[in-house]
Amino acid sequence: QEELEHLNQANEDINSLELQLDEARSAYRRILSESARRLNAQGSQLGSCIDKARPYYEARRLAKEAQQETQRAALRYERAASMHNAAREMVFVAEQGVMADKNRLDPTWQEMLNHATCKVNEAEEERLRSEREHQRVTQLCQEAEAKVQTLQKSLKRVILKSKPYFELKAQFNQILEEHKAKVTSLERSVSQAKTRYSVALRNLEQISEQIHARRLQRLLQRRASPVGAEASPQHSNLELGATKGTHLVAQCPQTDTLSLLSLQTIASDLQKFDSVEHLLALSDATSLHSQELEDGGGQGRAGQSHFKHHRSVSL
């Protein structure tokens, strides 16, 4: 029941999120089409000043990206420098422990010192690498800012003239970025809901397989139980026959050696065999019994009535 609820909930989420995703995509395409139409109309009014002022705005975009990269490089350098300082403090503590007389031969301090030294070396390499990267991106940022200043002076007139176009373009870019982020978020939510649906469906399949396996096992047990019920009385009858055969042996005279051996053999056979189905294929089973009785001798005939009675009870 719990997995069914998860499956139904995931299915509802998928349907709802896919509707929202379709609406968000439609809104994004509508805004994109509207922005292209309005920017085209604005460009037709302003003329060639837009193309002339475009290098300035492109330089401003590159300068902004370089500035953001410089900030990220500065954070990486600060983190590397902090790790380097922490590793150096660890080395200082380990050296103090090793230099102490009571810990001079302690392998723990030696291992700590080696580990701290390795950390210092790694932190030093990372600090130098991040420092070089920060210097490189700082140089690029400075060059981009300088280019922006140069283009701003040389293209001041066309920049002012094309300002309405690029301001409108910036507004549409902001709106499109927001809708794009919404579309991306909904796509991720749909993917997660489909994953939950797949997991719940797979769990239900496993539960169904377990249920069918248990049903099959119970069915096999039900089919096997009558056989066991029939086998038990038969086995008890055979034991009864074997017991009676033993009593018959006790009742026979001690001098009746042949009859005694025959009855002991029969009692032993009754304990060993629990079925007489193999005798059904023998058409002369009755004649075989008669011949065995005749071969028993005169004294064996004295126990014939007991043998027949025992045979009928056991079967």
pLDDT digits (tens, 9 = 90+) for 115-136: 888 888 888 888 899 989 999 9
pLDDT digits (tens, 9 = 90+) for 40-67: 898 888 888 888 999 999 999 999 999 9
With beta carbons less than 8 A apart as the criterion, state whether 97 and 107 touch.
no
Tokens 């096997």, residue located: 224
pLDDT at position 102 is: 58
Q: How confident is the model at residue 309 (pLDDT cuts 50, 70, 90)?
A: very low
pLDDT digits (tens, 9 = 90+) for 155-172: 889 999 988 999 999 899
More confident residue, 293 or 14: 14
Both structure tokens of 254 = 């001690």
More confident residue, 133 or 255: 133
- Tell me the C-alpha distance between 70 and 144, whole Å: 12
pLDDT at position 66 is: 92
Both structure tokens of 194 = 């489909």
With beta carbons less than 8 A apart as the criterion, state whether 218 and 292 touch.
no
**Radius of gyration of the chain from its Cα atoms, rounded to whole angstroms:** 50
Side chain identity at 169, as an amino acid letter?
K
- Tell me the C-alpha distance between 296 and 238, whole Å: 23
Instruction: Provide the Cα torsion 239, 241, 246, 250; round to 10°.
Output: 150
Other Cβ atoms within 10 Å of 262 Cβ, number: 21
Task: Report the candidate in 52, 30, 31 with the shortest Cα–Cα distance to residue 165.
Answer: 52
pLDDT at position 96 is: 76
Residues 6+ apart with CB under 8 A from 10: 193, 194, 196, 197, 200
More confident residue, 264 or 117: 117
- Tell me the C-alpha distance between 108 and 113, whole Å: 9
Which H/E stretch holds residue 212?
A: helix 163-251
- Tell me the C-alpha distance between 184 and 162, whole Å: 33
- Tell me the C-alpha distance between 209 and 1, whole Å: 15
Task: Report the candidate in 59, 4, 297, 24 with the shortest Cα–Cα distance to residue 185.
Answer: 24
Integer CA distances (angstroms), 53 to 27, 33, 173, 245, 277, in order: 31, 24, 18, 121, 107
pLDDT at position 257 is: 45
pLDDT at position 216 is: 86
Residues 6+ apart with CB under 8 A from 293: 300, 301, 304, 307
pLDDT digits (tens, 9 = 90+) for 169-206: 989 999 999 999 999 999 999 999 999 999 988 888 88
Residues 6+ apart with CB under 8 A from 255: 299
With beta carbons less than 8 A apart as the criterion, state whether 126 and 83 touch.
yes
Global pTM value = 0.52
pLDDT at 78 over 80: yes
Q: How confident is the model at residue 290 (pLDDT cuts 50, 70, 90)?
A: very low
Residues 6+ apart with CB under 8 A from 209: none
- Tell me the C-alpha distance between 194 and 11, whole Å: 8
Show the domains of the chain with their CATH numbers: 1-220 (1.20.1270)
pLDDT at 247 over 80: no
pLDDT at position 225 is: 62
pLDDT at position 147 is: 92
